[in-house]
């Protein structure tokens, strides 16, 4: 029975890790890793429903035994630490250096943002930062989305006044980057916050981070974009993950594609991928000639690709997170797992 063997291996590795625990903080980290609601034991037990009916009972009993043994081991370790602390010599040695306070760690989104920047930097992309507050012209008009264009309904926009808005995507940075580099070739990424006035759900937030990618030069094709994303996916998620391109529509790219990656459920189907086994992580395509012209380039001389990728949506399949609202709910039980 494969699951029972997995549970036994998990039990042995958890007990071995517990023997190395020497402080309350390390003990809490062990508990979160193995016994928390989203810990390794809970994930293993969630697979019971996949077993045939005749194996389910025995596997369930094995899972409960493993849970009871780990819980008892955890309580014993906690009691041992308490006894050790109570019997310790509490005299203060004033010659010892002070212990620096724990000040926290990087947010999961920030960690993923830095890692993504590092991966793209190894492929020759440089960071180009732009404004979070943009003009309507840069956010829409110069991206081939004139006033009253039906494509504006794709973005639920938060306007400050008639001209200014909170950018709905990082794509306005394309125009700023092209005008800064033109007529030289460029290869940049544009990370930053985006804002949309839309209903919050397990798959969508009103504030989120994106990384925009843009490359302009001679001989750039859609195959260039596919090569970049294949390299990114293998480094970010591991060699077992696959990507696929689906035809789509964006006003500022032609042709346009949506880029999917295999979900963390690996094809079994879950709420995050809506049972499809695939999760969209980016949209992109070849830069529309009108956008190239607005950036100062001659579309008869050069081509380019562009993509926009949501950071939170990207790392959800990596860690098995099924609800984007966890990122900004400020639940320390969630955040400390990644600190």
Lowest-confidence pick of 91-100, 231-240, 252-261? 91-100
Assigned domain for 101 exists: no
pLDDT at 155: 75
Share of residues in the chain with pLDDT > 70 (%): 94
Name the domain boundary from 18, 53, 86: 86
Q: What pLDDT is recorded for position 74?
A: 87
Per-residue pLDDT tens digits for 1-53 = 446 677 778 888 888 888 888 888 888 888 888 888 888 888 878 777 777 77
Q: Are residue 141 and residue 65 in the same domain, yes or no? A: no
Low-confidence winner among 76-85, 168-177, 184-193, 293-302 (lowest mean pLDDT): 76-85
Could you report the per-residue pLDDT of 275-313, keeping only the tens digit for each?
788 888 899 999 999 999 999 999 999 999 999 998 987
Predicted confidence at residue 82, as pLDDT, reads 83
Looking at the fold, whether 41 and 139 belong to one and the same domain comes out as: no
Does 219 fall in a domain? yes
First CA to last CA across the chain, in angstroms?
35
In a domain, 56, yes or no: yes
Q: What is the mean pLDDT of residues 170-199?
A: 94
The count of structural domains within the chain is 2
Give domain status of residue 69, yes or no. yes
* Residue 61 shares a structural domain with residue 119: no
Q: What pLDDT score does 95 carry?
A: 85
Please report whether residue 285 resides in a domain. yes
What integer is the mean pLDDT of 220-236?
A: 93
- Taking the model in full, what pTM does it have? 0.66
Question: What is the model's pLDDT at position 306?
Answer: 97
Is position 303 within any domain? yes
Least confident of 138-147, 161-170, 259-268: 259-268
* 139 in the same domain as 243: yes
Q: Both 75 and 180 in a single domain?
A: no
Identify whether residues 43 and 116 lie together within a single domain.
Answer: no
128 and 74 within one domain: no
Asked if pLDDT for residue 226 goes beyond 90, the answer is: yes
Going from the C-alpha of 29 to that of each of 22, 37, 334, the distances in angstroms are 11, 13, 12
Task: Give the rounded percent of residues in the chain with a pLDDT score beyond 90.
Answer: 42
Judge contact between 203 and 246, C-beta under 8 A.
Answer: no
Task: With a cut of 80, say whether residue 243 has pLDDT above it.
Answer: yes
Among residues 86, 117, 134, which one ends one of the domains?
Answer: 86
97 occurs within a structural domain: no
Q: Is the pLDDT of residue 190 over 70?
A: yes
Do 155 and 264 sit in the same domain of this protein? yes
Percentage helix, strand, coil, to 5, in the chain? 45, 20, 35
pLDDT of residue 156: 83
pLDDT recorded at residue 290: 97
Range of the domain at 207: 108-338
Same domain, residue pair 117 and 227: yes
- What is the DSSP-derived secondary structure letter of residue 150? G
Residue 60 is assigned to a structural domain of this protein: yes
Same domain, 56 and 129: no
| 65: Cα separation from own chain's centroid | 35
Looking at the structure, do residues 116 and 204 belong to the same domain, yes or no? yes
* Same-domain status, 76 and 144: no
Q: What's the pLDDT score for residue 1? A: 46
Residue 53 CA: distances (Å) to CA of 59, 60, 102: 10, 11, 49
């Amino acid at each position: 029975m494969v699951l029972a063997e997995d549970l036994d291996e998990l039990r042995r590795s958890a007990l071995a890790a517990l023997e190395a625990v020497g402080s309350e903080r390390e003990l809490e980290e062990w508990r979160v890793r193995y016994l928390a609601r989203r810990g390794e034991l809970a994930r293993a037990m969630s697979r019971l429903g996949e077993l045939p009916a005749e194996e389910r009972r025995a596997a369930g009993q094995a899972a409960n035994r493993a849970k009871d043994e780990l819980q008892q081991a955890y309580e014993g370790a906690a009691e041992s630490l308490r006894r050790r602390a109570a019997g310790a010599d509490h005299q203060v040695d004033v010659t010892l250096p002070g212990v620096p306070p724990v000040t926290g760690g990087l947010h999961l989104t920030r960690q993923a943002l830095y890692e993504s920047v590092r991966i793209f930097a190894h492929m020759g992309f440089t960071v180009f930062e732009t404004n979070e507050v943009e003009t309507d012209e840069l956010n829409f008009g110069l991206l081939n989305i004139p006033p009253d264009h039906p494509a504006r309904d794709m973005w639920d926009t938060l306007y400050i006044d008639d001209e200014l808005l909170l950018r709905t995507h990082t794509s306005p940075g394309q125009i700023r980057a092209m005008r800064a580099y033109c007529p030289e070739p460029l290869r940049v990424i544009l990370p930053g916050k985006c804002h949309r006035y839309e209903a919050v759900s397990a798959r969508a937030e009103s504030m989120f981070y994106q990384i925009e990618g843009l490359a302009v030069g001679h001989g750039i094709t859609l195959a260039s974009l596919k090569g970049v994303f294949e390299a990114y996916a293998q480094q970010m998620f591991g060699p077992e993950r696959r990507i696929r391109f689906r035809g789509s529509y964006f006003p500022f790219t032609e042709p346009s594609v949506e880029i999917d990656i295999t979900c963390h459920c690996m094809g079994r189907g879950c709420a995050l991928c809506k049972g499809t086994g695939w999760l969209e992580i980016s949209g992109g395509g070849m830069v529309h000639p009108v956008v190239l012209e607005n950036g100062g380039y001659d579309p008869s001389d050069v081509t380019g690709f562009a993509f926009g990728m949501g950071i939170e949506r990207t790392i959800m399949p990596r860690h098995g997170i099924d609800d984007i609202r966890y990122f900004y709910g400020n639940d320390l039980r969630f955040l400390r797992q990644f600190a």
